[in-house]
Amino acid sequence: MSTEKKVGLSELYAQDPIEADRLVWGRESHASTRRGFLKKGALALMGAVLGGNVVFGANMPAGLIPVGIWDQDFPIKGKHKDLILLNDRPVNAETPPHLLEPLVTPADRLFIRNNGIPPENIDLSTWTLTIDGESALTSKTYSLQDLKTRFQHYTYQLTLECGGNGRAEFNPPAKGNQWTLGAVGCPQWTGVRLRDVLEDVGIKDDAVYIGYYGKDTHLSGDPDKVVISRGVPIKKALEDESLIAWAINGEDLPVMNGYPLRLVFGGWPASTSGKWLQRISIRNIVHDGPKMTGQAYRVPCKPVAPGSKVAEEDMCIIESMPVKSLITSPKSGGILRGKRQLEVSGKAWAGDLSVSKMEVSIDFGATWQEASLSAPANRLAWQPWKATVTFPDVGYYEVWARATDSNGRSQPMVIPGWNPKGYLNNACHRIAIKVN
């Protein structure tokens, strides 16, 4: 597809599928019947994009995005081709659970959640980070070189999960990217401690929050509009593992994941981990940038009935993410032939806490078997687990996985607390297995 289009395909088709057909392919529609037909040129164009002649193109209903467009090789440079594209403008892509089997998530498998358009033509020699704000003793600007030479380097494995991971399951549905399972990853991040840099500038006693600003641009194209500017309470900002990072697994950050500099707050909604970082404000109030206020990244302070409208003052900012786990091997839908034993493995994490127990069930939660769970590489890293299950007979099974955090809270088996924006779905992951 052309790179100059201003709106993503999914968005375009959601707004007006018939008009989208006309814009994208040049398809003509009969206003009376709303049955479209593809003109020769439109068919040829569609065929070229799909890599083959659309044989029954004449039968194709109007307003349909060819599913083959989503199934093509992932078009983002440097990213695994099996990432699942949810939106192309802005780019949003999730990782299928089986690609998260390695203990340390490879950079090309880390999900992408963009709210705007990433900066282009990044010049490392002129990139700067400014620290300012009401609660900064002074304001200072650092080059990348300053950061790398003046402060000690740290490497931690940190879990990054979008607050909206699992949104697709909420009912009534919540608007936004329909993440299923894979808006999560746990690579190794290298950088400097946010604390060291903030202390170099000087933090006033009245500091309560930090807020970030990135160099991405708003979808509207308005250069003065900030895409997203969130942050964390000063206490979280000053933790050992809170990083200003320039590397994933020892290499430069991928462009889509914030190159050349980003914040990383393991265990908190990933929206706090500002990408393409150019400024941090030390605030004497709870940061109030775009997507910090209103309903964004907030859930009802008290549970509400599904579908409720919730007043802004009854919404609370999401902090530490809830306990959760994934089965990363085998892939759902596997067939076990000629044996009854299966090794299952996965990852578990629990926001600021650690995971203390991991269990699996093959009988829809009637009985649970304890899995072997390893310690995290460091605080705020996910924990690998594995178990061997034995199926009593041939047939269809589901393997369910359930983690319990160090405070004794477990994952729910069904979708938890409905909330207007569809955050924090930590229901148990299930996979299907057929035993032949």
Ligand X SMILES: Nc1nc2c(c(=O)[nH]1)N[C@H]1C(S)=C(S)[C@@H](COP(=O)(O)O)O[C@H]1N2
Of 27, 79, 113, 279, the one binding ligand X by CB under 6 A = 113
Closest separation in Å from C-beta 242 to ligand X = 14
The stretch near Mo ion (CB under 5 A) out of 264-272, 309-317, 354-362, 400-408 is 264-272
Cβ partners under 8 Å of residue 220, min gap 6:
none
> Is residue 298 involved in binding ligand X (CB under 6 A)?
no
The stretch near ligand X (CB under 6 A) out of 28-36, 79-87, 106-114, 298-306 is 106-114
> Is residue 230 involved in binding Mo ion (CB under 5 A)?
no
CB 345 within 8 A of CB 103: no
The stretch near Mo ion (CB under 5 A) out of 19-27, 58-66, 228-236, 266-274 is 266-274
* The token pair that represents 197 in the structure block: 């840099």
- What is the separation of C-alpha 311 from the centre of its chain, rounded to a whole number of angstroms? 26
Return the residue nearest Mo ion (CB atom): 162
Decide whether 201 or 264 has the Cβ nearer to Mo ion: 264
Tell me how far apart the alpha carbons of residues 10 and 251 are, in angstroms, rounded to a whole number: 32
Decide whether 27 or 113 has the Cβ nearer to Mo ion: 113
> Is residue 201 involved in binding ligand X (CB under 6 A)?
no
- Contact mark string toward Mo ion, 144..163, x via CB under 5 A: ------------------x-
Closest separation in Å from C-beta 136 to Mo ion = 27
Tell me how far apart the alpha carbons of residues 106 and 165 are, in angstroms, rounded to a whole number: 19
Closest separation in Å from C-beta 304 to ligand X = 23
User: Quick one: what does residue 214 bind among ligand X, Mo ion, none, with the CB cut-off 5 to 8 Å set by partner type?
Assistant: ligand X
Return the residue nearest ligand X (CB atom): 214
Sheet holding 140-143, edge to edge: 140-143, 128-132, 277-283, 209-214, 231-233
SS3 217: strand
* The token pair that represents 190 in the structure block: 């290298």
- Site size for Mo ion, by CB under 5 A? 3
> Is residue 257 involved in binding ligand X (CB under 6 A)?
yes
Closest separation in Å from C-beta 419 to Mo ion = 14
User: Quick one: what does residue 8 bind among Mo ion, ligand X, none, with the CB cut-off 5 to 8 Å set by partner type?
Assistant: none
Q: Name the nearest CA neighbour of 384 among 135, 105, 96.
A: 105
User: Quick one: what does residue 114 bind among Mo ion, ligand X, none, with the CB cut-off 5 to 8 Å set by partner type?
Assistant: ligand X
Q: How far is CA 340 from CA 155, 264, 343, 399, in A?
A: 42, 42, 10, 13
Pairing of strands 231-233, 209-214: antiparallel
* The token pair that represents 204 in the structure block: 């006033």
CB 424 within 8 A of CB 417: yes
- Contact mark string toward ligand X, 222..241, x via CB under 6 A: -----xx-------------
Tell me how far apart the alpha carbons of residues 262 and 99 are, in angstroms, rounded to a whole number: 24
Query: At CB < 8 A and 24+ separation, what contacts does 303-310 make?
Result: 303/417, 304/417, 304/418, 304/419, 305/418, 306/170, 306/171, 306/172, 306/418, 307/172, 307/418, 308/418, 308/420, 309/420, 310/419, 310/420
> Is residue 193 involved in binding Mo ion (CB under 5 A)?
no
* The token pair that represents 364 in the structure block: 């829809």
> Is residue 271 involved in binding Mo ion (CB under 5 A)?
yes
* The token pair that represents 4 in the structure block: 């100059």
Closest separation in Å from C-beta 362 to ligand X = 32
User: Quick one: what does residue 287 bind among Mo ion, ligand X, none, with the CB cut-off 5 to 8 Å set by partner type?
Assistant: none
* 248 phi/psi in degrees, rounded to 5: -115, 125
> Is residue 111 involved in binding ligand X (CB under 6 A)?
yes
Tell me how far apart the alpha carbons of residues 263 and 197 are, in angstroms, rounded to a whole number: 12
Closest separation in Å from C-beta 134 to ligand X = 22
Closest separation in Å from C-beta 403 to ligand X = 21
Of 95, 159, 271, 361, the one binding ligand X by CB under 6 A = 271
Whose structure tokens read 């477990």?
410
User: Quick one: what does residue 116 bind among ligand X, Mo ion, none, with the CB cut-off 5 to 8 Å set by partner type?
Assistant: ligand X
Closest separation in Å from C-beta 102 to ligand X = 16
User: Quick one: what does residue 110 bind among ligand X, Mo ion, none, with the CB cut-off 5 to 8 Å set by partner type?
Assistant: ligand X
* The token pair that represents 234 in the structure block: 């000063």
Decide whether 100 or 131 has the Cβ nearer to Mo ion: 100
Closest separation in Å from C-beta 121 to Mo ion = 26
Of 38, 168, 219, 270, the one binding ligand X by CB under 6 A = 270
Q: Which residues bind ligand X (CB under 6 A)?
A: 110-116, 160, 162, 214, 216, 227-228, 257-258, 270-271, 273-276
